Amino acid sequence: MNKRTRTGAFAGLIMAAVFVGACSNAGTTTAPATAGATPAASMAPSMAAPSASAAMMDGTTFGAACSAVPATGAGSFEGMATAPVATAASNNPVLSTLVTAVTAAKLGDTLNNAKDITVFAPTNDAFAAMDKATLDSAMADPSGLLSKVLTYHVVQGRLTPETLAGTHKTLAGSDLKVEGSGESF
Q: What is the DSSP letter of 154?
A: E
What pLDDT score does 162 carry?
A: 87
Length of the chain in residues, anyone? 185
**What pLDDT sits at residue 12?**
37
- What is the pLDDT, as a whole number, of residue 64? 72
3-state secondary structure of 162: coil
Where would I find the beta strands (DSSP E) of the chain?
24-25, 28-29, 61-62, 117-119, 154-156, 166-169, 175-178
User: Residue 139: enclosing H or E segment and its boundaries?
Assistant: helix 132-139
Q: Given this model, what pLDDT does residue 174 score?
A: 96
Please tell me the distance from the alpha carbon of residue 135 to that of residue 139, in angstroms, as a whole number.
6
Q: Check if the beta carbon of residue 26 is closer than 8 Å to that of residue 81.
A: no
pLDDT at 38: 31
Q: Is residue 8 helix, strand or coil?
A: helix
Rounded CA-CA distance 105/25 in Å is: 27
User: What pLDDT does residue 25 have?
Assistant: 55
Per-residue pLDDT 10s for the chain (185 aa) are 444 444 443 333 333 333 333 565 544 433 323 333 333 333 333 333 344 433 344 556 767 778 888 889 999 988 988 899 999 999 999 999 999 999 999 999 999 999 889 999 999 999 999 999 999 999 999 999 999 999 999 999 988 888 999 999 999 999 999 999 887 88
How many Cβ atoms from other residues are within 10 Å of residue 128's Cβ? 12
